[in-house]
Structure 1
């Protein structure tokens, strides 16, 4: 199945480069471009992309507000944010907006392609060098008892174990080895956690684990 991608960046040359890399793949089609978050939301409604590759710093409507608008207009669309190491203050807002992951602008082309495929398949892009660093930063405050934290009570002990390890950046295979489970069993537990907590993907699961206090910043 072809993955339909919308490119959002205020620099035309960046969009050209992204289009060249992605369009060379037989399973990826770039269906449109936008120069800010507001135009992205309009384009999503018109074009129906599977994945939006969203820059953060843009004039008029930035990538954070743009992500909110895109997901409000099309909840089934996945947003993959383009970022640099110096944009922590933007990344916290992106996580709360519901994006499915982050990609460094200096990433090699093959990583960009893999990221688009992973997000389109329903996964979350959890790059420890970016995502977990930002999550730990904004999760350092004491957790509040929200409806979501109460929902953790619905998880089994094993599901809590899986969520805790997932939040520390472990892959399914690593979680399986740590808990002496089969990888297929871990996948089942992850799916159950997402369903019970009403989450879209692994990125939101990591945020929930920190926000509810299941995992604390700095814990081994």
Structure 2
């Protein structure tokens, strides 16, 4: 049985999320907080939760500040952002601070449930419709402790040249928010093969996690490298 905490200041939205979770994950223990202070107080009393779903715009914690403070105070508690914000820079900023998923509030109910299950299964969830947007030079979030620890900057073409064509294809889908299952379907390979490719990508890029690989991969450099390799 899973234990989830939903932190959002709108009762109707908390009720809607509870209905989604209970319909697809029956028996889940669901706790709620209507502000950041209530969330931290609840976790102080009992931080044994499988996932916190955190709204970025709580009345007493704005933007990414609440996530930053939550990760500092409870580094072992898994946190996914649940927000109306849909900027690619905000998604990357949340990853940078250690979030293991980003769920836009506009996500359709079936997709939202699938995303929560994906996170509970140990995978990162990113909204594909946001991650496929072109990155802007001004949108890159500043490095902070968390997901980017050990990442010195975007991977250069030399590092990407170490990857096989298939690994480049996997990485290009990874940075657009695709899950292992989606990558397997898109590339017509087994899901276990995807996991093998991801492990090889992390090793060759010198990073320790999928999040670090996403943050280290510059999409334009990656796609240029992939185009060159495909015409050889």
What is the TM-score normalised by the length of structure 1?
0.72
Going from structure 1 to structure 2, the CA distance change for 1:118 and 1:65 (only over 3 Å counts) comes to same
Of the candidates 161, 169, 172, which is equivalent to residue 183 of structure 2?
172
Q: How does 1:70-149 map to 2 (within 5 A)?
A: 70-84=70-84, 87=87, 90-133=90-133, 136-137=135-136, 147=152, 149=154
User: C-alpha separation between the residues in 1 aligned to 2:43 and 2:79?
Assistant: 11
> Is residue 216 of structure 2 the alignment partner of residue 205 of structure 1?
no
User: C-alpha separation between the residues in 1 aligned to 2:212 and 2:71?
Assistant: 14
User: C-alpha separation between the residues in 2 aligned to 1:49 and 1:35?
Assistant: 17
Q: CA deviation at 1:59?
A: 1.6
Q: Deviations over 1:168-220 (max 9, x none)?
A: 4553315644xxx6442221221344475122x4x543222128x75369x98
Going from structure 1 to structure 2, the CA distance change for 1:153 and 1:38 (only over 3 Å counts) comes to farther
Residue ranges of structure 1 left out of the alignment (5+ in a row): none
Of the candidates 200, 203, 215, which is equivalent to residue 222 of structure 2?
215
- Specify the alignment match of 1:34 in structure 2: 33
Going from structure 1 to structure 2, the CA distance change for 1:48 and 1:70 (only over 3 Å counts) comes to farther
Q: CA deviation at 1:119?
A: 0.7
User: C-alpha separation between the residues in 2 aligned to 1:72 and 1:98?
Assistant: 10
CA contact (8 A) 2:7 2:52 kept: yes
User: C-alpha separation between the residues in 2 aligned to 1:139 and 1:192?
Assistant: 30
CA contact (8 A) 2:88 2:131 kept: no
In the TM superposition, structure 1's runs of 4+ consecutive aligned residues that sit over 4 Å from their partners are 85-89, 138-141, 148-156
- Specify the alignment match of 1:13 in structure 2: 12
Residue ranges of structure 2 left out of the alignment (5+ in a row): 144-150, 228-232
What is the TM-score normalised by the length of structure 2?
0.69
- Specify the alignment match of 2:230 in structure 1: none
Going from structure 1 to structure 2, the CA distance change for 1:38 and 1:206 (only over 3 Å counts) comes to farther
Q: CA deviation at 1:43?
A: 3.0
User: C-alpha separation between the residues in 1 aligned to 2:75 and 2:161?
Assistant: 25
Going from structure 1 to structure 2, the CA distance change for 1:10 and 1:193 (only over 3 Å counts) comes to same
